[in-house]
Amino acid sequence: MGDFAVIGIGRFGSSVARTLYDLGHNVLAIDKDE
């Protein structure tokens, strides 16, 4: 298992974060809301 940070949780970023999480990795998701 690895540790990942996903910056930008739009369509692509949220998909990447979810896939990594489902594979058992630790995921930190960061997004800027203006």
Would you kindly state where each structural domain of the chain is located, as residue ranges?
A: 1-25
Q: What is the pTM of this model?
A: 0.83
Give the three-state DSSP class for 6: strand
Spatial contact of 27 and 17, defined as CB atoms under 8 Å apart: yes
Pull the structure tokens for residue 26. 């630790």
Residue numbers in the chain where pLDDT is lower than 70: 34
Spatial contact of 6 and 26, defined as CB atoms under 8 Å apart: no
The values of phi and psi at residue 2, to 5°, are: -120, 170
Q: What is the pLDDT of residue 12?
A: 96
Rounded distance, CA 27 to CA 5, Å?
6
